[in-house]
Structure 1
Amino acid sequence: MPAQVQQAGSRSLRRCGTIGVMQPGQRAIIHVDMDAFYASVEELDDPSLAGKPVIVAGLGRRGVVSTANYEARKYGVRSAMATSEARRRCPGGIYIFPRHARYQEISNVVFGVFAEVTPMIEGLSLDEAFLDVTASLRLFSSIEAIGRRVKEGIRERTGLNASVGMAHNKLLAKLASELSKPNGFLRIAPDEVRGYLDPLPVGRMWTVGKVAEESLQKVGIRTIGDLVRADAWRLNKAVGERHAAQLRELCRGEDRRPVVTDAPEVSIGSEWTFEYDVEELPIAEAWLLRQCERVGARARARGLDARTVSVKLREPPFLTHSRQAQLPVPGNATADIHAVARRLLQVWWSQHPRPRLRLLGVTLSGFDARHGDEQQDMFAAPAPDKRSDGVQDLINGRFGAGALVRAGVLKTRGSE
């Protein structure tokens, strides 16, 4: 593997591979990933946390880790780990409940930096995105110049570090940011692809999960280089002929996926895992209303009308049920969403002799984007009065999520 990856720390800005002009017809793709984003924001707001293991997580009995900073990762703490396991591994850590409104605020600044170099932005989460800067090369001297502008702009405006990977496709750009973390800055040039890819464990390749990795290892394919050199019989035996062709292409460093901007939202969901099982229907209905408020607000903020409401119900320990129904008219009013979701919950509750819930969630899907100049159907059901939703969205947007809730949600307060 090239020496750039083996060096870490403050010298990361110099780890940029071979600086050169992109070839004609070649894309210029940047992958940006904020380092330990939630935990870094907490350290930014409370400098006394610097140098300490910081874990942002649900703090209840069934909480899950959202982000752990690099100090905490030394103890084996990682994202998606149960908070109880994290406490066992790192009893001296600082455990903080997530502040999503604050993270969104910082994310908006970060994405504002992206927009200064290209409109071609594919957001993957609050702290991660692909940028297609091919057209921007005419304004800047190189992809490295654009990447450095993004990295330094984020640092100047937020005080946070971002890892920046650059390449001629999404696969390699993401790999570059991963290999150079933390505070990374790396370009993988076309003539360097094999040097970076071949030594990596085959499980590092996108689309290769644990099952596929084990199958590949059984036929002697342990690294990406092994896969590239493997004969078709061995590869087909391990992952099947259909997956084999795609996988070989990826392992050669080939990826034709475009950067997709403004991708249509497939679903909007909110769920909650209870610290103690819920055994009373009124309490379950209160939590359901709380989730309906959240998904309704998010749909309204995006100007989306949903057709389908789904309810996710998990009995202890991990038996999960899903129920869904259509809204009478596509929309995003909390009252309408809750009416459908509540009916689904009540039917499920009545069908179980001893209903208990470990988790409850609501998801909206089947979206139609609304347009102000569309002619309304005079025979459609009357539109709901959204004035209460508008006031609630305005107050929560100014003072933070949950500042104003419906009275029915108050039963959930104090049980978080």
Structure 2
Amino acid sequence: MLITLHIDIDSFFIAVERLEISDFKGIPLLIGGISSRGVVASCSYEARAYGVRSAMPMRVAKRLCPVGLVIRGDMDRYTNYSRMIGDVLSEYVPAFERASIDEFYVDLSGASDYVRNFGAWGTEVRKRVYRETGLPISMGLSSNKTVSKIATGQSKPSGQLFINPNSTKEFLASLSIKHIPSVGSQTYQTLRNMGIEEIRSLQQVSPDLLMSVLGKKLGYSIWQKAQGIDYSPVVPYSEQKSFSTEVTFTEDTIDVHFLEASITSMTEQLAFKLRNEQQLTSCVTVKIRYSDYQTYTKQRHIGYASATHTLLAVVKALFYSLYDRRVLVRHVGVKFSHLVHGNYQIHLFEDTVERVSLYQSMDAINRKYGADAIGSAKALGVKRYIK
């Protein structure tokens, strides 16, 4: 029988800030762009009571919550804490999936001792994580990713909950449809307009109706999750997974403007791939091969990211630390590794509403017409010089 454990760090960004500065406890916190044109990346429960939500323009959030304290956020610090928790978990389980910067999944199928002793074992793990990092975590254990994730949400704050695989439909029935992971605000409103508020109502709707209203893929997925069905496997985290691209020029060159345009184009395409596949990278590598075939690489660990401007700054810095202006360059490469699943929310620390909208629009065009359909002016015209 499939048994899946879900682990979530409670209010992660907020918890880290309050761990670092105890005076932040109990006051409304807004993490995100500090200017009036910024965007809210995360907010405390105290701020939510004023109506503040993630991805909201900061100027709107400050108007709703004038007493809120705005913090820029520190992705390097958050990434470090996430790795610390991963290190603790690795001592208790043979493998885990790092689903995002603050979420983990563990496949416990066949591990009857873990399931039978979940109360004591889960408590021990939570206490160990808190002792090592100061951060509270919550856990949900059930038959699959969807149900265990919902169970985790019901166990917060700092709790754990086991849902018997034979009782998943009953557990889900009384909950709001908001608890289904793929039900966003727009989908929620559509379902509410159909008179569906609780999952029990969703369980009774035919999949054909949901597919006709929400689209075939989303409609069927939501119907399955309402029934407690989710076949998504737990994919063990691997530091080796990466996205990369390399180019060999038709002619060796020392034209720094052309070389910068090349790495810009490569970075833009890889960053789009990250966002399109909902991945974040925490390690950037740049490679240069000169005309004499001498090859050099350099890498840098960063806070989890997928924003082009963030990654391009790192790529350029690594490139210029390797680049020798006196030698012709034959080949360059860029690689993003140490990937985890995640969304764009964490980049809102430094982004404006306009930049977020720009990325969304460019990504939509690239999804429709190809990964290099649109990009920066600097990267245009590079292709014809590549073998």
SS at match of 2:56: coil
Contact 1:219 1:238 in 2 (8 A): no
Cα distance in 2 for residues equivalent to 1:342 and 1:111: 33
Cα deviation for residue 305 of structure 1 reads 6.2
Q: TM-score, normalised by structure 2?
A: 0.63
Answer yes or no: is 1:258 the counterpart of 2:258: no
SS at match of 2:30: strand
Cα distance in 2 for residues equivalent to 1:92 and 1:242: 43
Cα distance in 1 for residues equivalent to 2:47 and 2:72: 15
Cα distance in 2 for residues equivalent to 1:395 and 1:184: 31
Letter in 1 for 2:74: R
Cα distance in 2 for residues equivalent to 1:407 and 1:246: 44
Letter in 1 for 2:61: A
Identity across matched positions, percent: 27
Q: Name the counterpart of 2:244.
A: 306
Contact 1:306 1:364 in 2 (8 A): no
* Residues 200-209 or 28-37, more deviating: 200-209
Q: Name the counterpart of 2:262.
A: 340
Contact 1:57 1:97 in 2 (8 A): yes
Q: How does 1:267-416 map to 2 (within 5 A)?
A: 304=242, 306-307=244-245, 327-328=247-248, 338-342=260-264, 363=271, 382=293, 384-386=295-297, 389=298, 393=300, 405=317
Match of 1:230 among 185, 205, 209: 205
Contact 1:31 1:164 in 2 (8 A): yes
Deviation per CA, 1:279-305, whole angstroms, max 9, x where unpaired?
A: xxxxxxxxxxxxxxxxxxxxxxx6846
Q: Evaluate the alpha carbon distance shift between residue 165 and residue 395 of structure 1 in structure 2; reply closer, same or farther with a 3 A threshold.
A: closer
Q: Evaluate the alpha carbon distance shift between residue 181 and residue 248 of structure 1 in structure 2; reply closer, same or farther with a 3 A threshold.
A: same
Q: Which runs of 5+ in 1 are unaligned?
A: 1-25, 265-301, 308-325, 330-334, 346-359, 367-377, 410-414
Cα deviation for residue 121 of structure 1 reads 0.9
Cα distance in 2 for residues equivalent to 1:191 and 1:172: 12
Q: Name the counterpart of 1:57.
A: 32
Cα distance in 2 for residues equivalent to 1:257 and 1:109: 26
Cα distance in 1 for residues equivalent to 2:244 and 2:259: 9
Cα distance in 2 for residues equivalent to 1:89 and 1:361: 38
SS at match of 2:16: helix
Q: Name the counterpart of 1:320.
A: none
Q: Name the counterpart of 1:16.
A: none
Radius of gyration: which is bigger? 1
Q: Name the counterpart of 1:206.
A: 181
Match of 2:45 among 58, 62, 70: 70
Letter in 1 for 2:22: P
Match of 1:40 among 15, 24, 43: 15
Cα deviation for residue 210 of structure 1 reads 4.5
Q: Evaluate the alpha carbon distance shift between residue 232 and residue 41 of structure 1 in structure 2; reply closer, same or farther with a 3 A threshold.
A: closer
Q: Evaluate the alpha carbon distance shift between residue 342 and residue 248 of structure 1 in structure 2; reply closer, same or farther with a 3 A threshold.
A: closer
SS at match of 1:151: helix
Contact 1:120 1:259 in 2 (8 A): no
Q: Evaluate the alpha carbon distance shift between residue 167 and residue 81 of structure 1 in structure 2; reply closer, same or farther with a 3 A threshold.
A: same
| RMSD, matched Cα | 4.1
Cα deviation for residue 182 of structure 1 reads 2.4
Letter in 1 for 2:67: G
Cα deviation for residue 214 of structure 1 reads 4.5
Answer yes or no: is 1:93 the counterpart of 2:68: yes
Answer yes or no: is 1:189 the counterpart of 2:164: yes
Deviation per CA, 1:12-56, whole angstroms, max 9, x where unpaired?
A: xxxxxxxxxxxxxx2221111111111211111111222112222
Deviation per CA, 1:278-335, whole angstroms, max 9, x where unpaired?
A: xxxxxxxxxxxxxxxxxxxxxxxx684612xxxxxxxxxxxxxxxxxx7338xxxxx9
Cα distance in 1 for residues equivalent to 2:84 and 2:189: 42
Q: Evaluate the alpha carbon distance shift between residue 364 and residue 241 of structure 1 in structure 2; reply closer, same or farther with a 3 A threshold.
A: closer
Match of 2:77 among 102, 117, 128: 102
Cα deviation for residue 249 of structure 1 reads 2.7
Q: Name the counterpart of 1:134.
A: 109
Spell out structure 1 runs of 4+ moving beyond 6 A: 406-409
SS at match of 1:385: strand
Deviation per CA, 1:233-263, whole angstroms, max 9, x where unpaired?
A: 6445434566555443321112121111136
Cα distance in 1 for residues equivalent to 2:259 and 2:80: 27
Q: Evaluate the alpha carbon distance shift between residue 239 and residue 224 of structure 1 in structure 2; reply closer, same or farther with a 3 A threshold.
A: same
Q: Evaluate the alpha carbon distance shift between residue 337 and residue 61 of structure 1 in structure 2; reply closer, same or farther with a 3 A threshold.
A: farther
Cα distance in 2 for residues equivalent to 1:338 and 1:182: 48
Q: Which has the higher contact order (CA 8 A, sep 6+)?
A: 2
Contact 2:169 2:226 in 1 (8 A): no
Answer yes or no: is 1:174 the counterpart of 2:112: no
Cα distance in 1 for residues equivalent to 2:180 and 2:302: 45
Contact 2:212 2:219 in 1 (8 A): no
Contact 2:95 2:237 in 1 (8 A): no
Q: Evaluate the alpha carbon distance shift between residue 213 and residue 118 of structure 1 in structure 2; reply closer, same or farther with a 3 A threshold.
A: same
How many equivalent residue pairs?
293
Q: Evaluate the alpha carbon distance shift between residue 195 and residue 121 of structure 1 in structure 2; reply closer, same or farther with a 3 A threshold.
A: same
Cα distance in 2 for residues equivalent to 1:190 and 1:204: 18
Contact 1:163 1:185 in 2 (8 A): yes
Cα deviation for residue 157 of structure 1 reads 1.0
Q: Evaluate the alpha carbon distance shift between residue 262 and residue 232 of structure 1 in structure 2; reply closer, same or farther with a 3 A threshold.
A: closer
